[in-house]
Amino acid sequence: MHNSTPRARIGRRGFLIGTAGLTLGGAALLTGCGSGGAPPVADGPPRPGGRLRTAIAGRSATADVLDPYEAGSSAGGAVAKNVWDKLVAYNNDLTLRYRLAEALEPNADGSSWRIRLRRGVRFSDGSPLTSRDVLFSFERMLDPAKPSSGDLSMIDLARTRADGEHAVVVQMKYPLADFGSVLAGWYCYVIKAGSTTFDARTLPVGTGPFALANWAPGDRTLLRRNDLHWDGPALLDEVEIIQIAETEARMNAFLSGAAEVVHEMSYLQARTLAGDPDARVIVPPAGLMGAFQMRVDMAPFDDVRVRQAMRLAVDRQAMTDALYYGYGEVGNDIYGKGAPFYNDRLPQRAYDPERARALLREAGRENLTVTLPTADGLPGQVEAATLFAEHAAKAGITIRLESAPADTYFSQISGKRPLTQLGWWNYSLDYFYGQTATSTSPSNGTGWRRPGWDAGFAEARAAMDPARRTALYAELQEELWNEGGLILHSFAKRPDAARAKVGGMRDGVPGTDDWANYATTWLAG
């Protein structure tokens, strides 16, 4: 998938707190401790210039990709949103903001949409954005060989056409009431027409606030300011995005001075850093799901009674209290708390090990033993697995934990074995269920395939009347709550941290346009 620039994987002990320096990807980095005196603080007016270094979860050199229609890691997403741009993007509350699109105009039943493009937008090489770029992007995104193909699977590309230089008329295979929430999805970037090679030698151009300067897969990406950015030039000269798969190692890179910003740190780390005068902890306003997923098409979870027992065998409140240090809320086995159309009327599922034991006895699965692979890939991931094993033991369930590599967990393990862990960022229900819960969804890690549910979902996403859509989504979520494969135990706000000299960091919820977007970030010195 990439060029083969080597990089040794950084292990949990690969960074040492308090050392005078460290080696990352073969390059020696100073700690930044320097001479004495107070460090600069980002107060006062923003200042231009400087290079920002950020530590973020990534993948191995062999799994990492630059193509925004294939990149699946946090680092890949950060690179994509700073180099390219979307037609529309999410705000923190999952409402939409226009970006490259000026307007989205549906016909009466949502079977056709007209996208009006913003005028005056240029790629970083100076070429103008036109309807041809959007059509090319749609065509390439819908390549069945790419993971992005599911994002826009409702588009009838053969009947979609340009309407002049600055508009595209999109025909749908079936009516869609909220096209914008789909266009704001993970992969939906607009690339320049003709861009087919995404590697370190080619470094394709985009319309985002920064342009690619260097890319070393699995290691780091260097970005330089795009002075032609349609939304105004960024303040920083450069951004270096450093990939570190493990949570503990990312924090040690920040503490040692190898990075000015750290993303996806643990909640204990965030609570500890809150008292550090040289750090700012940035807490987004909404939380991300923490979940285990059972494949409903694999034993023993092909029996709904076993799935229900597993859901009753986790103490959600105890897990939230232990894992998140005040940053979390209890989950209720369905995605999207706080999102439009989330069903908050379902009863809160409680911890009931005795009922779980009875269900397993009824299913002929008493004293069940299952294996749960886990990895230090997400904040609290290993701790959540450990606590689940403790809670489930009271129901007679033995959960054997199996350690797995952090940099390949979500690409090679999650959703591919009977019981795994899952983390999804914040998106609309329309986007999430389209990606994970239909019979043809590309990321259906629970193996949920119900033709009746598929039909109900198609009806819900086509309902132009919001009240009707709310009712239909409520029914879909109730079925998943009763019979689905997610054990969604919590929603946790994902804190980031920046040195005090870093200004202009946005409090973005991962999945929205603001998270890991450095267009407004600046350095005091």
DSSP string, 39-56: PP---SS-----EEEEEE
pLDDT band for position 6 (cuts 50, 70, 90):
very low
List the chain domain ranges.
21-82+201-285+495-523, 85-190, 288-492
Q: Between the CA of residue 218 and those of 58, 171, 213, 221, 407, what are the distances in Å?
A: 7, 38, 16, 9, 9
**Contact present, 209 and 513 (Cβ < 8 Å):** no
**Residue corresponding to tokens 């993007």:** 89
**Whole-angstrom distance, CA of residue 393 vs CA of residue 316:** 15
Question: Sign (positive/negative) of CA torsion 124, 129, 134, 139?
Answer: negative
User: Is the peptide bond preceding residue 300 cis, with omega within 30 degrees of 0?
Assistant: yes
Over the stretch 197-243, which tens digit does the pLDDT of each residue have?
999 999 999 999 999 999 999 999 999 999 999 999 999 999 999 99
Does residue 64 contact residue 216 with C-beta atoms inside 8 Å? no
CATH H superfamily, domain 288-492: Dipeptide-binding Protein; Domain 3 (3.10.105.10)
Residue 129, SS3? coil
Q: What is the pLDDT of residues 55-94, one digit of tens each?
A: 999 888 888 999 999 998 899 999 999 999 999 999 998 8
- 124-170: pLDDT as tens digits: 999 999 999 999 999 999 999 998 888 898 999 999 999 999 999 99
167-171 and 112-117 beta bridge pairing:
antiparallel
Look at the alpha carbons of 447, 451, 454, 456 in this order and tell me if their dihedral is positive or negative. negative
Please list the alpha-helical segments (H only) found in 288-411. 304-312, 316-324, 353-362, 381-393
Is domain 85-190 classified as CATH 3.40.50.10210? no
Per-residue pLDDT band at 4 (split at 50, 70, 90): very low
Residue whose pair of structure tokens reads 């950084």 in the numeric block:
10
Whole-angstrom distance, CA of residue 153 vs CA of residue 151: 6
CA distance 142 to 440: 14
Q: Please count the residues of the chain.
A: 525
Give CA–CA dist 423/377, Å, rounded.
10
Question: What's the pLDDT score for residue 150?
Answer: 82
Please provide residue 66's backbone torsions phi and psi, each rounded to the nearest 5 degrees: -95, -30
Instruction: Give the separation between CA 143 and CA 472, rounded to whole angstroms.
Output: 31
Mean pLDDT across the stretch 362-388?
95
10 Å CB burial of residue 164 (0-12, 13-18, 19+) is exposed
Compute the distance between CA of residue 10 and CA of residue 16 in angstroms, rounded to an integer.
12
Residue with tokens 């949570």: 247
Percent of the chain with pLDDT over 70: 93
Sign of the CA dihedral running 410, 412, 415, 417 = negative
Q: Are 52 and 1 in contact (CB under 8 A)?
A: no
In degrees and rounded to multiples of 5, residue 265 shows phi and psi of -85, 170
Distance of CA 456 to the CA centre of its chain: 26
Nearest C-alpha neighbor of 334 from the set 377, 280, 289? 289
Percent of the chain whose predicted confidence (pLDDT) is above 90? 79
Q: Average pLDDT in the 12-16 region?
A: 26
* Confidence band for 39, pLDDT divided at 50, 70 and 90: low
pLDDT in tens, 324-354: 999 999 999 999 998 899 999 999 999 999 9
- Helix%, strand%, coil% for the chain, nearest 5: 25, 20, 55
Cβ atoms 478, 453 nearer than 8 A: no
- Tell me how far apart the alpha carbons of residues 202 and 142 are, in angstroms, rounded to a whole number: 22
Residue 14 confidence class, pLDDT cut points 50, 70, 90: very low
Does the pLDDT value for residue 42 go beyond 60? yes
Global pTM?
0.81
Other beta carbons within 10 Å of 250: 29
The predicted model gives 366-393 an average pLDDT of 95
CA 513/CA 316 separation, integer angstroms: 30
Query: Contact at 8 Å (CB) between 353 and 312?
Result: yes
The matching CATH number, chosen from 3.30.43.10, 3.40.50.720, 3.40.190.10, 3.30.565.10, for 21-82+201-285+495-523 is 3.40.190.10
